[in-house]
Structure 1
Amino acid sequence: MAKIHFRTAQFLISAPSIRQCPTEEGTEVAFAGRSNAGKSSAINTLTGNGKLARTSKTPGRTQLINFFNFPAAPDQRIVDLPGYGYAKVPMAVKKKWQADLSEYLQQRDALRGLVIVMDIRHPLQDFDTMMINWAIEGEMPVHLLLTKADKLKPGAAKSTLLAVQKHMRDAQVDDLVSAQMFSALKKQGINQLEDVLNGWLLPQHDEPEAVQE
């Protein structure tokens, strides 16, 4: 079974809006999340490159849509969307980010799935729910990455995951929304995340036709 070698990821381009994004050949998966949820750390852990997605002590510094691809699979891309919700920036800037995110999620045909990064200690904040709703409206699959799992005891972390999964079942969206625990510090959850991304990014093979007698 074909797999993407995520550790070969390389920077492709930064775009200020959907109009400057790369052409839509191939497939891409986007990472979104509050500016302090550990999104850049999650991407860097996935790719084994601590400098690929910029991390900052000042949340909200990343205001561009950043694209990464792979030398052996240049038509498959990871997209790092601007952080939202937390950043101490002017309201006009926040509104522009929100408009850009909405436009990208609703109009980007190459997009196959959305990873929403949430601090496991503060899951399902208002902006997270808004992003989930945007994706569901477009029938876009969503994977909730509950980061910083090392900050909780294992039992508490598991309980939070189960509560989030129950919330999705109760909302009757669990067919589109999955969830997992993740820790960049402990390198926890990388294989599960890779499996989800491979399922979204790689071409889906059609069922073989029945052999006629």
Structure 2
Amino acid sequence: MIVFMMIALAIAEVLELDLAKKIENLNGQVLELSDQEGKNIVYSGYFDAFILFYNSEDFSTKKLLNDWSKASLKLHSNGVNITMGSLDVAYGKKLYKKLLIKNFPCACYFRPWKFNQYFGPFDEDSIYELVTTKSYLQLPTYSSPYSLTSAEYVSKLFYQGIEGQWVIVINIGLVALIFTGFIIYACISSMIRKEKIQ
């Protein structure tokens, strides 16, 4: 169990680091998130982010994303430090279900361990005003979901593999093996000492 927790923490730390690097290089661009990256933002509790949940099967998506992108650039050019992201629920379904979002489009303003839901309007000026005046604080506030379940930690490990980051996966595996070996050695040593005493 301890080994599993260590692996989980190592994976979470690496993924959050990757995400932080992506955010650093945005320069006002919208961060297009996978479901897993969205979870990393929510579960980490470290990022201030405004994420648009939309359905690409909706005919009005193009204008929606265009306005969202313009608002992001405008905020950045005026020195507002916020990560603007977007997540297509047609492909990433787990996170929005955890957040109990039932209508789209919906934007969630995430701050440490809390988030606010916003259902529009989504034009550039409305989004800009919402963020700069911090009007999102007057919206319904919810507690962010708790940390990942065991199954989701395993899916994080799998996600690292399919993203081609096998070096990270192998390193984590080696740490786990060494730690497991140490525990086995400690248990055997303890048994030998008990036998000698008897």
Please indicate, yes or no, whether the TM-score normalized by the shorter chain is above 0.5.
Answer: no
Larger radius of gyration: 2
TM-score (norm 2): 0.34
Structure (1 or 2) with the greater strand fraction: 1
Structure (1 or 2) with the greater helix fraction: 2
